[in-house]
């Protein structure tokens, strides 16, 4: 009888273990990447919701038409909301929360500010970008 040593079987098992470990490591890195992207997307959606809420809150506030620029802090999100009165009876409502910002145009009519029914803009609606910056 010849003696069987089993070295090739042991080598095959070790090779399968090594390949399995590499596959698990790759899957783990891919899952971590997806989780990171999902968390960033979630933070972005939260920022966008907070700034939209703050802009709507600012739209419902009573603003003085005597100051060229007036700012307030939205109570629910700590977002900053400012109203800038422009030449020609126009007004610009601005809201910023972290890196998200929105603007909404309006006009002054008989001491009241009437905002555009078209809604907000996620880019500066004015030619002069300096007027869109928060003070």
Place of tokens 């802090």: 73
Q: How many domains is the chain built from?
A: 1
∠ Cα 37 73 132 (to 5°): 75
| Domain annotation covers residue 97 | yes
Q: Could you read off the pLDDT of 3-28 as tens digits, one per residue?
A: 667 788 888 889 999 999 999 999 99
Domain of residue 75, residue span: 7-132
Residue-wise DSSP of 64-100: -SSSSEEEEE-TTT--EEEEEE-GGGEEEEEEEETTE
pLDDT by residue, tens only, the chain of 135 residues: 556 677 888 888 899 999 999 999 999 999 989 999 999 899 999 999 999 999 999 999 999 888 889 999 998 888 999 999 999 899 999 999 999 999 999 999 888 899 988 888 889 999 998 999 988
Residue 1 lies in a domain: no
């Amino acid at each position: 009888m010849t003696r069987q040593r089993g070295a090739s079987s042991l080598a095959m098992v070790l090779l399968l273990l090594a390949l399995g470990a590499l596959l698990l490591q790759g899957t783990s890195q891919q899952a971590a990447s997806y989780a990171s992207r999902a968390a960033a997307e979630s933070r972005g959606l939260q920022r966008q919701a907070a700034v939209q809420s703050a802009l709507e809150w600012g739209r419902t506030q009573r603003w003085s038409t005597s100051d060229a620029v007036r700012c307030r802090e939205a109570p629910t999100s700590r977002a900053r909301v400012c109203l800038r009165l422009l030449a020609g009876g126009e007004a610009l409502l601005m809201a910023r929360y972290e890196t998200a910002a929105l603007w909404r145009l309006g006009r002054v009519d008989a001491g009241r500010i009437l905002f555009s029914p078209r809604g907000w803009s996620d880019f500066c609606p004015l030619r002069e970008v300096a007027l869109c910056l928060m003070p």
